[in-house]
Each structure stands twice: as C-alpha cells, then as structure tokens.
Chain A
Amino acid sequence: NAGVTQTPKFQVLKTGQSMTLQCAQDMNHEYMSWYRQDPGMGLRLIHYSVGAGITDQGEVPNGYNVSRSTTEDFPLRLLSAAPSQTSVYFCASSYQRGSYEQYFGPGTRLTVT
C-alpha cells in the first residue's frame, strides 16, 4: 500500500491564484482530514470528511473548500490564495470517524507571494 499520498510536494502561488492540493489513500479509510502547520506551530484542522459525500469544517476553514466524491480522494481547494495561507498542508486518514490512529501524508509546502 502507498498509504496517504499528497501532490504536489511544493507549490508557489501568487496572491489571488487558485489551486487544488491533492490527497489520496489506498487503505479504504472512511475518515480523511486536512491540517495546516505554520512554522514552529502545531497542526490546525481545516476540514474533515467522515465518508464519501460528507464533509465538515474544522478549526480554520475560511479560504478553503473540500469535497469527497470517492472514498480514496479528498482534495483541498484554495479559492483565492493569500500570503496568510503560506504553510505546510498535511492530509490524514483513519479507518473510522473519531479514530485517534491517523495516518498522515508527507505534506505539501505552499508559499503564497
């Protein structure tokens, strides 16, 4: 199994541009989530999904959209990038909702200029 994969690894955007961060898992996990991690800080939950077609907001959802059309994929969309969204983004999945045993992807390092 590849586990949780994320693309791209690095991305530079200009303010106002939009893009989609990709996340996929091949473990048939029900639960998927997106976190952001700013330098020297912990992780903050952006959005999460408890199954295909079901998403909800985390701690810091503004400026981001998600959808979950399949069990495997959970893309994160930045609608109009801002410098405040410069961060490392991690996708995670777990077997079921509320499981504290999450599997994380390698992260996407995003810089918005």
Chain B
Amino acid sequence: LAKTTQPISMDSYEGQEVNITCSHNNIATNDYITWYQQFPSQGPRFIIQGYKTKVTNEVASLFIPADRKSSTLSLPRVSLSDTAVYYCLVGAPGSASKIIFGSGTRLSIRP
C-alpha cells in the first residue's frame, strides 16, 4: 500500500478556495487516489476519486500531476460547514482487502 503524507491541520476563511495536498511518492501503476471527508461525530464520507489529471464533482476537484506522486483536493468557496477532517487514500480498487486510513488533515474554516 502506498504511504501518504498530508498536513496535520489547515485553517482558512469562508469564501476562500482551499487546497489540501497529499504526497504519495511510491504510488503504483494501478493505484487510484481517493478522498474522504469526516464531519465531527459522523462516519467518513467518500467525496472524490481519480487516477490522473483532473476530476471534478459537485463537492470538490481533484488535481493529479503527470507523475502522480502527489494530488491536491480543491474545495471552492468554502463555508463553515466544510470544517472537517479530510483523508487521502491511495490504492488499487479491487485488489486490496485492507482499506487503511491515515490521520487526515483537520480543516478549520473561520467566519
């Protein structure tokens, strides 16, 4: 399983764009990058997954450079309700049985 490194915490303000970077230097050819969001007192929620270049959905965008050794989760115009922990996971869907979470990035949004 590829090891991931994320910042422990980040702060931002309402209305700003927030970018959270995840480093995964030993990513394998078949690995995808997946991000989860966890609000306080709730279970994590899948938000986005990608393999290369850019993926966008109604919640976030995921940018993956050509070497795939890092990825950036982008949250546009954040609000207070985006305060959560964000987890970056790297692995090959369908091959791994153990889905391992790291410590995540604690994002705090201020008014």
- Chain A residues packing against B (C-beta within 8 Å): 4, 33, 35, 41-45, 48, 50, 56, 58-59, 90, 92, 96-107
Contacts and interface: CB of A to CB of B under 8 A. Distances in A.
Interface of B: 32, 34, 41-46, 49, 87, 89, 91-104
A43 B101 CA distance: 6
A56 B94 CA distance: 16
A106 B43 CA distance: 5
B93 A42 contact: no
22 contacts: A33-B99, A42-B101, A42-B104, A43-B101, A45-B99, A45-B100, A45-B101, A48-B99, A50-B97, A56-B97, A90-B44, A92-B43, A98-B91, A98-B93, A98-B95, A100-B32, A100-B34, A101-B46, A103-B46, A104-B43, A105-B43, A107-B43
Given A56-B97, A106-B42, A101 B103 contact: no
Mostly helix, strand, loop or mixed at chain B's interface?
Answer: loop
Given A90-B43, A105-B43, A106-B43, A100 B87 contact: no
Contact of B94 (A35, A98, A106, A107): A98
A33 B100 CA distance: 11
Contact of A102 (B41, B97, B99, B102): B99
Nearest to B34: A100
Given A42-B87, A42-B104, A100 B43 contact: no
A101 B41 CA distance: 20
A59 B100 contact: yes
